[in-house]
Amino acid sequence: MKPTTALLAAVCVIFLVFGAGCISFSQPDPNGTVWKLESIGQNNDAPNGIITLSFSNGVASGSSGVNTYAGTYTASTGDGKLTFSGIASTKMTGPSGLMAQENAYLADLGEVASYAISANTLILKDNAGKTLLTFTNPLEGTAWKLISYTPAGKTAQLNAAGLVTLMFEPNGDLSGSTGINTYEATWKMSGKTLDISQPAITKMVGPQFMEDQESDYLSLMGSVAGFTLSAGQLDLINAAGVPIMSFEPILPGTSWQLMEINGEDIQTDIQTTLTFNEDGTVSGQGPVNRYAGVWHLAGTNGLTFSNVAATMLISSDSFAVATEQQFFGILNNIINYAVTDNSLTLTDNSGDTLEFAPVYQNVLGSTAWQLADNSAVTLSFSPDASQIFGQGPVNTFSAAVTYNQYGQVSISNFISTRMGGIEAQITAEQAFFEVIEELETISFGSGQLILSDGVDYLYFNPQMN
């Protein structure tokens, strides 16, 4: 071997050992790929909300948390160089924390000089080799709730009472709830294409309108061919590129009230609440003090809270004080969550649980219902759910509603018209009004609204237009 050749070979061996030089820096072409921001900077700080980046024929676009953005990119697959230019975004405003994060993200894109794609990860670095942004598969580890759908050949309205969910597990499994049954399937993504296998489903039954919705939903699952992500919304599209189902993240913007700690009912004078604000902060009322902090999602059901701080009010109610200490002790160690049709369960690293129900004022406002066994009998809620009104078997009625703990309610200022009718209708109306006037609880089950005075029950379906 010539000396020069031997020297070069030795240099290459040295560089190979130390991970530099004589190694191919070539990278896969990013064109046609879609990514979700996983972490920011070398400290791997988790972002709040969903931030996305897609590459398509020289155009880079996505959601920066509040606004959507677009610009151009130039990628060199031979050496892994990547630059963005001409990035422009919409001009929506949002919470200050999200706006600051968005501005920092867009500024980081302007500093990008190179990229690396490995398995399901995209890393963007600056000229000095410092990691700026790390992205991952945009669907992996995400959980969604259905907000609209378009079955073939007809117009459909999503029923408010049934929570329809969709969860993309990291191992390729897919699961969720149809509002009546749970289902399981598998998913596979390539670029912007998405394939979902035929779901396997449990065999619970429900009201006909919920079964019809379930049938439509599962049928549409078989038509999914791709997806788009924009401004935190997931749209599943068919082979023609037409959106057929739209989803939003499960937790952001929801409010809950505490029902149980470790399976035991909690009865305190002050309602304990938990609100997941869309800017990534959490706030609520404990048994004594108000509190606030930050919430973070990890995977399909991982959840943690940080920087939780509370006011320092003093209470003479020893039970409330002890309950609050237990509540905060569990909350600060939460590791995962589960959402069903009518509850949120948080579990900490010791297996202790907090179970919540929706804050019903938020759920019921501006909704309209019809009695399950007599669609002519209706019940509607005002926008803030503080008033109810409707049509009984004969007369119209209205009343004020006060909400207490755990879905408990009380009715006041009940009034009705005094029209006459046939005896059977009057008898049915008396029984109906008796439940309304003595109302104690409001709950949901299998897509129905359930009212009870502690003895009798009224079952309502969402009102059909």
**Cα separation of 18 and 132, whole Å?**
23
State residue 407's pLDDT score: 55
Co-location of 394 and 335 in the same domain:
no
Give the 3-state DSSP-derived string for 165-232, with helices as H, strands as E and coil as C: EEEECCCCEEEEECCCCEEEEEEEEECCEEEECCCEECCCCCCHHHHHHHHHHHHHHCCCCEEEEECC
**Cα separation of 35 and 44, whole Å?**
16
Question: Final residue of a domain: which of 358, 381, 405?
Answer: 358
State residue 92's pLDDT score: 84
Give the chain's end-to-end CA distance (angstroms, integer). Answer: 87
The answer as to whether 183 is a domain residue is yes
Instruction: Return the higher-pLDDT residue of 385 and 156.
Output: 385
The answer as to whether 12 is a domain residue is no
In this structure, are residues 287 and 270 in contact, taking their beta carbons and an 8 Å threshold?
yes
Task: Return the exposure string of 186-201: e unless at least 16 CB atoms fall within 10 Å of the residue's CB, then b.
Answer: ebebeebebebeebee
Instruction: Return the higher-pLDDT residue of 178 and 407.
Output: 178
Residues 338-376: tens digit of each pLDDT = 876 567 899 998 999 999 887 776 678 888 999 998 999
The answer as to whether 85 is a domain residue is yes
Co-location of 166 and 244 in the same domain:
yes
Co-location of 239 and 156 in the same domain:
yes
Co-location of 64 and 77 in the same domain:
yes
Co-location of 186 and 79 in the same domain:
no
State residue 116's pLDDT score: 94
The answer as to whether 6 is a domain residue is no
Residues 221-253: tens digit of each pLDDT = 999 999 988 767 899 999 999 999 999 888 887
The answer as to whether 350 is a domain residue is yes
Question: Final residue of a domain: which of 358, 383, 399?
Answer: 358
Could you tell me the two tokens for 333? 């160690």
Residue 163: domain span: 142-249
Residues 155-190: tens digit of each pLDDT = 666 765 567 889 888 788 998 888 888 899 999 988
In this structure, are residues 48 and 280 in contact, taking their beta carbons and an 8 Å threshold?
yes
Residues 6+ apart with CB under 8 A from 152: 219, 220, 223
Co-location of 326 and 223 in the same domain:
no
Tally of structural domains, the chain = 4
Co-location of 204 and 272 in the same domain:
no
Tell me the average pLDDT of the chain: 85
State residue 120's pLDDT score: 81
Q: Is the pLDDT of residue 313 over 80?
A: yes
Co-location of 260 and 334 in the same domain:
yes
CA dist 397 to 237, 242, 380, 390, Å?
44, 44, 10, 6
Co-location of 177 and 230 in the same domain:
yes
Query: Sorting pLDDT into bands at 50, 70 and 90, what band is 12?
Result: very low
Write the DSSP assignment of 1-51 as a string of letters: --HHHHHHHHHHHHHHHTT-SSS-------TT-EEEEEEETTTTBPPSS--
The values of phi and psi at residue 43, to 5°, are -85, 0
The answer as to whether 389 is a domain residue is yes
pTM, full prediction: 0.66
State residue 165's pLDDT score: 87
Residues 6+ apart with CB under 8 A from 18: none
Co-location of 379 and 333 in the same domain:
no
Question: What is the identity of the amino acid at 315?
Answer: S
Residue 233, beta-bridge partner list: 230
From 175-179, 314-318, 385-389, 401-405, the region with the lowest mean pLDDT: 401-405
**Cα separation of 384 and 387, whole Å?**
8
From 25-34, 113-122, 150-159, the region with the lowest mean pLDDT: 150-159
Question: What would the mean pLDDT of 301-329 be, rounded to a whole number?
Answer: 92
Q: Is the pLDDT of residue 52 over 80?
A: yes
The answer as to whether 9 is a domain residue is no
Question: What is the identity of the amino acid at 129?
Answer: G
Write the DSSP assignment of 120-163 as a string of letters: TEEEEE-TT--EEEEEE-SSTTEEEEEEEE--TTS-----TTS-
Residue 255, beta-bridge partner list: 275
CATH number of the CATH domain containing 324: 2.40.128.270
The answer as to whether 8 is a domain residue is no
Question: Final residue of a domain: which of 94, 120, 136?
Answer: 136
Co-location of 229 and 129 in the same domain:
no
Co-location of 156 and 132 in the same domain:
no
Q: Is the pLDDT of residue 301 over 80?
A: no
